[in-house]
Amino acid sequence: MRQFKYILLSLILILAYQSHGEEKMTLNKLTPAEEKVIIQKGTERPFTGKYNNFSEKGTFTCKRCDAPLYRSADKFDSGCGWPSFDAEIPGAVKRIPDQDGRRTEIICANCGAHLGHVFIGENFTAKNTRHCVNSISLNFIPADATPKTELAIYAAGCFWGVEHYFKQAPGVLATRVGYTGGQTVNPTYRQVCSGKTGHKEAIEVTYDPTKTTYEELTKLYFEIHDFSQTDGQGPDRGEQYLSYIFYRNASQKQIAENLKALLIQKGFKVATTIEEAGVFYPAEEYHQDYYTKTGKAPYCHFRRKIF
């Protein structure tokens, strides 16, 4: 009977998450030509796209879901016939093996729209990366009309579950999980798990400040984990699972400290450390958006209403 109840609860959580995701996702109607590239993973002819010879300042967004993908500052002329970028907006683009078995496909992290392919080692720019993108997969917002985005960085145990909740939050544009707070440069997951790097499993959240606030996101952060735990989070033990807020400016620091003080006033024990943000190292690709990829549900993060 106990096993049956556990299975039933797991199914309910998964269905609730899938239902929530379906409600949240809004997709734009595509023309047949757009569907051929964006859905069927086709390729537009070189030198024909509207953004190939294009140098205006602003932000390139996904044609299918409007998620911000690239900044004009990262666009360069590679001469290949398609728009080229040497970096994406953090967390906006996913890399997956192409069906041809040779190349790496890039898709919108939010809706899965096909964008093109990414190539490494061509030495076009100092970043040594070229995102070769179909113009038809993109829209463009001029700089004077581009909404401002801000970043927040949190650690609250296993970053799979933390990302699961932040991806659902209103105003969140993109997320990526990674490692920060330690001394090892470009750490691997295995190194972080050794407990010798000082790094925490963390999440970097890109959000629209006109649709949410750092305070609201930080309240969500406190509500989805046990901030009183001093040795890890749930069943996960070790320094990489500790509760940390990594502030990026004086305003974020003050908001975090105020909320921590408020929780203490409410009678909670708060073990969360508030620390200035350092370098954020993205985790391996298989860690990104883990629960969406696997269809599973978090096992050590649950939201409880506190504020």
300 labelled catalytic: no
Catalytic site residue from 62, 65, 80, 132: 132
Give residue-wise pLDDT tens across range 227-272: 999 999 988 999 999 999 999 999 999 999 999 999 999 999 999 9
CA distance linking residue 215 with residue 218, whole number of Å: 5
Instruction: Say yes or no: domain 150-294 is CATH 3.30.1060.10.
Output: yes
**Given the DSSP bridges, would you call strands 273-276 and 243-247 parallel, antiparallel or unpaired?**
parallel
| Token pair for 30 | 């595509």
- Would you state the CATH architecture of domain 32-145? Beta Complex (2.170)
The 10 Å CB-count burial string (b at 16+, else e) for 220-251 is: bbbebbbbebeebbbebeebbbbbbbbbeeee
pTM of the model: 0.60
Residues of the chain with CATH 3.30.1060.10: 150-294
Close Cβ partners of 5 (under 8 Å, ≥ 6 residues apart): none
Catalytic choice (65, 158, 193, 300): 158
Q: Range(s) for CATH 2.170.150.20 in the chain?
A: 32-145
- Whether 193 sits among the annotated catalytic residues: the reply is no
Query: Mind listing the pLDDT tens digit for each residue in 52-107?
Result: 999 999 999 999 999 899 999 999 999 999 999 999 998 899 999 998 999 999 99
pLDDT confidence bin for 25, thresholds 50/70/90: low
The predicted pLDDT at position 151 comes to: 94
